[in-house]
Amino acid sequence: MAGYFEKQRFELCALHALNNLFQKQEFTRQELDDVCRNLDPDSFLNAHKSWIPGFGNYDYNVIAVALKSRGYSLNWFDSRRDPSEICTGDDALLGLIANISSNLKIGPVEIPFARRHWVAIRDLKGMETGYYLLDSKLPEPKFIGNKNDLVEFLREWMLDGDKQVMFVLKDDDDISQSSS
């Protein structure tokens, strides 16, 4: 397997989703913890992450601020719309981040206790060209296919209604500055 891929540790799926999306260690746990402290500086138990030190479990706000620090924005995809409307041909699109329901696993045993989990989807060059599901709970990236395959994957994937999909887009200011 070519490409960068982080596997699940603790409750750091948001960190893994971000790094898998950027295809390198772009963010650290310390950096995301700092974002949490900046978002909620006066609280003992931070509302944007796990109360267990070092475990992560970061929320949407942490991901949005982290992406903003790199010149990207996080935009909700309205699940009532058809996935074919996704701007996958847009140069500004880095990929997708999704928050899904996932059962808790302790070693090889899966416990039917639903938790929230962050994953990334993006077009990877250098591997079998196409879109991949970059889920840190999987042993390796899952090949989805071309743009049409991605649309079909998202249509089926979002049927249960328990998935929140977001676009990761390069900020307009950064696009206009780089094209000047």
CA-CA distance, 55 to 43, in Å (whole number)?
18
CA-CA distance, 94 to 88, in Å (whole number)?
9
pLDDT on residue 32: 92
pLDDT on residue 175: 43
Which of 40, 82, 135, 160 is an active site residue? 135
Domain of residue 43, residue span: 13-169
Residue 148 lies in a domain: yes
Active-site annotation holds for 117? yes
Q: Is residue 178 scored above 60 in pLDDT?
A: no
Residue 154 lies in a domain: yes
pLDDT digits (tens, 9 = 90+) for 77-121: 888 888 887 755 566 889 999 988 776 666 666 666 667 889 999
Residue 66 lies in a domain: yes
Residue 7 lies in a domain: no
Specify burial of residue 91 (Cβ count, 10 A radius: 0-12, 13-18, 19+): exposed
Residue 28 lies in a domain: yes
CA-CA distance, 8 to 45, in Å (whole number)?
24
pLDDT on residue 139: 93
Q: Is residue 10 scored above 50 in pLDDT?
A: yes
How many CB atoms within 10 Å of residue 102? 19
What mean pLDDT is reported for the chain?
82
Residue 166 token pair: 């977001």
Residue 176 lies in a domain: no
Residue 146 lies in a domain: yes
* HSE-up of residue 170 (Cα within 13 Å, Cβ side): 14
How many whole angstroms from its chain centre is CA 152? 19
pLDDT on residue 22: 96
Rounded to two decimals, the pTM is 0.83
Residue 174 lies in a domain: no
Higher pLDDT, 64 or 81: 64
pLDDT on residue 42: 72
Task: Count up the domains in the chain and report the number.
Answer: 1
Which of 16, 117, 172, 174 is an active site residue? 117
Which of 13, 16, 36, 48 is an active site residue? 13
pLDDT band at 28 (very low <50, low <70, confident <90, very high): very high
CA-CA distance, 115 to 69, in Å (whole number)?
27
Look at residues 33, 26, 39 and name the one whose alpha carbon lies nearest to residue 67: 26
CATH of the domain at 161: 3.90.70.40
Residue whose token pair is 């879109």: 131
Look at residues 164, 136, 138 and name the one whose alpha carbon lies nearest to residue 18: 136
pLDDT on residue 57: 81
User: What is the DSSP code (8-state) at residue 143?
Assistant: E
pLDDT digits (tens, 9 = 90+) for 110-156: 666 667 889 999 998 766 788 999 999 999 999 999 889 999 999 98
CA-CA distance, 45 to 113, in Å (whole number)?
24
Active-site annotation holds for 172? no
CA-CA distance, 172 to 180, in Å (whole number)?
12
Residue 31 token pair: 């950096």
